[in-house]
Amino acid sequence: LRKAKIAGVGSFAPEKVLTNNQLEAMVDTSDEWITTRTGIKERRIAEDDIATSDLAYEAAKNALADAGLEAEDLDLILVATATPDYLAFPSTACVLQDKLGVKGIPAFDMVAACSGFVYGLSVATQYIETGTYDNVLVIGAETLSKIVNWEDRGTCVLFGDGAGAAVLTPTKSGGILSNVIGADGEQNEVLIVRGGGSKRPFSQQIIDEGLHYLEMEGNPVFKFAVRILGKAAVQALKKAGLTRDDIDFLIPHQANIRIIDAAAKRLKLDRDQIYVNLDQYGNTSAASIPLALDAAVKEGKIKSGDIVVLVGFGAGLTWGATVIEW
């Protein structure tokens, strides 16, 4: 049986740090509020001339090096992002393909907001298991700072920029044991950028009304997230013939420490079985899980043979979980 495994991981975040204290000077907020409500202490912000593909490129190079592969070895590039270089086209994956200098191989973007990386893993797994492709690059990359309203304290304190990547290759055993993805489109408006698409094309009015910015109803997202993190993880474990008792290590989407703690309680996990770096990066949407995965691997938190669960949720609303035998 042909399965897919993660052969290498990598990540990258812009150097510029924006702390909670600095945010206090920008909007009516406090380090204390942000820390207690979210767990976030600081986030990284891309400079004006840096696009999502620039972050993706650095993460991709790191993941390829970790896998011991060259860009020329890749058969497919998948980029999960909600903040592409260009709104319509070309895809960020095509821009990245050019940067990597690997003309000819297929490259496309996927939009599933913060669940994007897990959606990407699920698609890559299919291509590898069916024997269509061998080496697939899956990237989650975002420059959310570019669509955040820096005058809206309800959202601007939450998000940050970054990129994470994984190179998937075939294996005979272990590797990715299962993927579960899902969506609830009924709640498509709770986390939304209303302007700039075909529903409300760009106009002066869109800009004047601030509809080009990210808008969020925090509460429904919070409730959904707490419920779905545990549920998606358990579903994916079941599909792999496992239960929550089999989890060695959980890498959840890094949105809010209270959401992670609530999900951990439901899954009966100890804090040291869960990776958290949202204090350093905030919510980086599709980049958050691979950023955390890369850090966990490099810090030696994940051992060979561990059962690792990646689980995310995001705008759409969407969710996804991947179970890996590392």
Annotated catalytic residues are 114, 253, 283
Q: Which C-beta is closer to ligand ACO: that of 198 or that of 219?
A: 219
| φ, ψ (nearest 5 deg) of residue 81 | -155, 150
| φ, ψ (nearest 5 deg) of residue 187 | -100, 35
Residue pair 136/75 in contact by the 8 Å Cβ criterion: yes
Question: For residues 225-264, which are near ligand ACO according to CB under 6 A?
Answer: 225, 255-256
Q: Which C-beta is closer to ligand ACO: that of 93 or that of 156?
A: 156
Q: Which C-beta is closer to ligand ACO: that of 69 or that of 192?
A: 192
Q: How far is the CB of 36 from ligand ACO (least distance, A)?
A: 9
Q: Which C-beta is closer to ligand ACO: that of 8 or that of 290?
A: 290
Greatest alpha-carbon span in the chain: 57
Residue pair 243/146 in contact by the 8 Å Cβ criterion: no
Q: How far is the CB of 184 from ligand ACO (least distance, A)?
A: 13
Q: Does 33 bind ligand ACO (CB under 6 A)?
A: yes
Q: Which C-beta is closer to ligand ACO: that of 157 or that of 242?
A: 157
By CB under 6 A, name the one of 68, 154, 197, 210 that touches ligand ACO: 154
By CB under 6 A, name the one of 31, 99, 222, 298 that touches ligand ACO: 222
Q: Does 122 bind ligand ACO (CB under 6 A)?
A: no
Q: Which C-beta is closer to ligand ACO: that of 37 or that of 239?
A: 37
* Side-chain-facing half-sphere of 119: CA atoms under 13 Å: 27
Alpha carbons 136 and 78: distance in angstroms, whole number: 8
By CB under 6 A, name the one of 3, 37, 41, 238 that touches ligand ACO: 37
Q: Does 218 bind ligand ACO (CB under 6 A)?
A: yes
Query: Is the torsion defined by CA of 291, 297, 300, 301 positive or negative?
Result: positive
Q: Does 315 bind ligand ACO (CB under 6 A)?
A: yes
Q: How far is the CB of 154 from ligand ACO (least distance, A)?
A: 4
By CB under 6 A, name the one of 18, 74, 77, 114 that touches ligand ACO: 114
Give which of 41, 45, 310 is closest to 160, Cα–Cα: 45
Query: What binding mask, one character per residue, do residues 51-90 give for ligand ACO by CB under 6 A, x or -?
Result: ----------------------------------------
By CB under 6 A, name the one of 219, 245, 300, 305 that touches ligand ACO: 219
Q: Does 167 bind ligand ACO (CB under 6 A)?
A: no
By CB under 6 A, name the one of 38, 92, 179, 322 that touches ligand ACO: 38
Q: Does 314 bind ligand ACO (CB under 6 A)?
A: yes
Binding site for ligand ACO (CB under 6 A): 29, 33-34, 37-38, 113-114, 153-154, 157, 191, 216, 218-219, 221-222, 225, 255-256, 283, 285, 314-315
